[in-house]
Chains A and B, each alone.
Chain A
Amino acid sequence: MPELSPALLAVVIAAGAAAGGLGSMLGLGGGVILVPFLNAALGFPLNIASGVGLMTVIATSSVVARGATGSGLVNLRLGMVLQIAAASGAYFGGTLARRIPEHVLELVFSAVTAGIAGIMLSRLERRNVLLDSTLSPGRFGGRYFDEESGGAIVYQTRRMPLALGVSLVAGSISGLLGIGGGILQVPALNAWCGVPLRAAAATSAVMIGITAAASAPLYYARGDIILPLAAAAVLGTFGGSRAGIWFGERARAKWLKVLMAGVLTFVSVTYLAGAL
């Protein structure tokens, strides 16, 4: 394991900031980028990298929960209902993980993320918002102030069974591969269920923090969370997440989709390379 020098901690702070920025903007938690970086690029064992990744997910979630809740972007009713499916999927996914060869899972995940990236790119100009703010959002929709449109907008969540199904699969993959389910949940909610990317991302960022908080104490108890390393990553994440919220609220939805497609492609290639 590398020695924790001030220079290395500075690199971890910068990586944490990047992970927190992307995590808060796209609802991914950031672990999907930080864990491979700590493991493959800096040489930390996977259990240590995952423990630090979990801490950054909690930090991102905490900052988003504070920064975005008042704006109406976080849809807690939708998030909690989908979380039932995601958490159940993660529970059974962890059990299934021992029976399916890892390279098969990685290949399937790589194909799925590549497919979703393609779907995101094909829908760049389409927005899931109703500009008439007097319309009802329905049981699982929401209402928030949108900087891009300059006014209050409403969205309705469609195809709730599909949203629950995707959350179950996302949760299973999270349990199988040890990554956050937001990477599947956020684009699927946006592409097929009528939830704007900003709202899906903010809701996902808060929810994955709650999931991470269930397993982080166990990593801590096992000694997989190295205090100065985790502190450096979390401090970077604090700054990055706040910047991510600021940019996420102001960036055009189209560019957020391009960014999401880019991250999905990166993840797809990473897992394809790991499987081959």
Chain B
Amino acid sequence: MSGLMLSVLWLSFAALAVGLGLWLTRPGNHAALLLTGGLLGLFLIPVMKLADVSIAAVRERDWVTLAATLVVVVILLAFTLRDAAGLPQGSVLP
């Protein structure tokens, strides 16, 4: 999981750098696609970190960390759902 996280981090960095360069020189769909991909990659890293912590906790039989991580996930999901419910209709991207 750590190697995967590192790969996603560097891919995001590269996509954002190339995308920004492209946006400055030839703004268009390719630049937007790279910039969106880079940012979405970044969103994924904390989620992967949570999965990584959970897997490590199970391996080490660290039930305190595992339980705390799961509670945190539930609270953050509640957050996201509460805020998503307040979004104007049609504003969520496909």
Knowing A217-B80, A238-B13, say if A58 contacts B42 (CB, 8 Å). Answer: yes
- Do A210 and B71 touch across chains, with their CB atoms under 8 A apart? no
Contact with A along B17-42 (1 / 0, CB 8 A): 10110011000000010011011001
Closest chain B residue, CB of each to CB of A62: B45
Contacts of A211 in B (CB 8 A): 76
- Do B5 and A231 touch across chains, with their CB atoms under 8 A apart? no
- Stretch of A78-86, A180-188, A250-258 that contacts chain B: A78-86
- Stretch of A123-131, A220-228, A264-272 that contacts chain B: A220-228
A177 to B92, CA, bound (A): 25
The minimal Cβ–Cβ distance linking A14 to chain B, given in whole angstroms, is: 14
Q: Does A9 contact B (CB under 8 A)?
A: yes
Closest chain A residue, CB of each to CB of B49: A65
Contacts of B93 in A (CB 8 A): 220-221
- Do A61 and B32 touch across chains, with their CB atoms under 8 A apart? no
Contacts of B79 in A (CB 8 A): 87, 90-91, 214-215
Q: Does B47 contact A (CB under 8 A)?
A: yes
Contacts of B91 in A (CB 8 A): 221-223
A211 to B17, CA, bound (A): 25
Identify which of B6, B78, B83 contacts A218 (C-beta below 8 A): B83
- Do A230 and B49 touch across chains, with their CB atoms under 8 A apart? no
Q: Chain A interface mostly helix, strand, loop or mixed? A: helix
A214 to B87, CA, bound (A): 15
Contact with A along B50-94 (1 / 0, CB 8 A): 100100100000101100110110011111101110010001110
- Do A227 and B32 touch across chains, with their CB atoms under 8 A apart? yes
- Do A216 and B83 touch across chains, with their CB atoms under 8 A apart? no
A69 to B1, CA, bound (A): 13
- Do B75 and A9 touch across chains, with their CB atoms under 8 A apart? no
Identify which of B35, B42, B68, B76 contacts A214 (C-beta below 8 A): B76
The minimal Cβ–Cβ distance linking A69 to chain B, given in whole angstroms, is: 8
Q: Does A261 contact B (CB under 8 A)?
A: no
Contacts of B71 in A (CB 8 A): 84
A-B complex: 5 closest residue pairs judged by Cβ atoms:
A213-B46, A80-B68, A214-B76, A227-B35, A87-B75
Could you list which residues of chain B lie within 8 angstroms of chain A, going by C-beta atoms? 2, 5-6, 9, 13, 16-17, 19-20, 23-24, 32, 35-36, 38-39, 42-43, 45-47, 49-50, 53, 56, 62, 64-65, 68-69, 71-72, 75-80, 82-84, 87, 91-93
Could you list which residues of chain A lie within 8 angstroms of chain B, going by C-beta atoms? 6, 9, 55, 58-59, 61-63, 65-66, 69, 76-77, 80-81, 83-84, 87-88, 90-91, 139, 206, 209-218, 220-223, 225, 227-228, 230-232, 234-235, 238
